[in-house]
Amino acid sequence: MSDGRGRLFGTVAELYDRYRPDPPEELGAHLGEMAGRRVLDVGAGTGKLTRFLGARGARVVAVEPDDAMRAVLLSRSPGVEAMAATAEDLPFADAAFDLVTSSSAWHWFAHPAAELELGRVLRDGGRIVVAWNGLSRTEGWVRDLVRLREREDDPDRRPRGWHADLSAGPFEDPADFDLAWVWRRSVEEIVGLFATYSGALVRDEGERRELFEAVRAAAEARAIDGVVEVPMSLRGTTARRATR
């Protein structure tokens, strides 16, 4: 994982776990049967996806290089094996896992090193699932919110996509998926969500205050009985590890 902006999340690890979205239940259909499968969750953060996998019977190993994020993961996920490592340099044997996952972290990895290393630890015929779980741009007011969080002059800003290019790794049969879902949040929860974005973390205190006031005003304009229905999208790419 990159240094710099990507390492800022540890400064808000508790908020990240509180305000970032859990995976929607529909993700299970793209993961298949989990019971007993050995799964590597890379760039696991505070363990949102890790817990989703474990609740479905997977034997999960979580990899997260940030100490503060990993500490929250361990406190929320008793019994889960977690270690400090990166997608580009994993301390596992070849073909050690049935499934490799990554949620909202792919754009922080170094490519193509990550694809090659993840392919190395995945067994032949095993699958990789790369996903992003975030605000949908299907409605204008959400697109306006997304624009608020970005600073185009930030030199460490990473381009985001909704799908992963796996062509540099030993993968075949790639397929993209797109799941629309609705997240019901209070106004303050939406403001809290924006406090965890890297686009907010790179700002000074005054700039963050202005951002949060703008987000609060936009959310209040959409709230009904204190609840905002936020359109969300879980998108990503799956592929199969080719035979060695």
Total Cβ atoms within 10 A of residue 60: 29
Go through the domains of the chain in sequence order and give each one's CATH number. Answer: 4-138+156-182+232-241 (3.40.50.150)
pLDDT score at 7: 59
210: which 2 tokens? Answer: 């202005």
Contacts for 224 with CB less than 8 Å, ≥ 6 apart: none
Residue 151: what pLDDT? 58
10 vs 16, higher pLDDT = 16
Query: 183 vs 32, which has greater pLDDT?
Result: 183
Percent of the chain scoring above 70 in pLDDT: 93
pLDDT at res. 1: 46
Give pTM, 2 decimals. Answer: 0.90
Q: What pLDDT band is residue 155 in, cutting at 50, 70 and 90? A: very low
Residue scoring higher pLDDT (198 or 189): 189
Position with higher pLDDT, 82 vs 198: 82
Q: Could you tell me where the DSSP H helices lie in 1-76?
A: 13-19, 28-31, 48-54, 67-76
* d(C-alpha 114, C-alpha 97), whole Å: 15
Percent of the chain residues past pLDDT 90, beyond the cut: 81
* pLDDT tens per residue across span 206-220: 999 999 999 999 999
CB 100 within 8 Å of CB 92:
no
Strand order in the sheet with 59-63: 81-83, 59-63, 38-42, 97-103, 122-135, 227-241, 171-186
pLDDT tens profile 63-122 = 999 999 999 999 999 889 999 999 999 999 999 999 999 999 999 999 999 999 999 999
3-state class (DSSP) for residue 60: strand
pLDDT exceeds 70 at position 237: yes
Helix (H) or strand (E) holding 98: strand 97-103
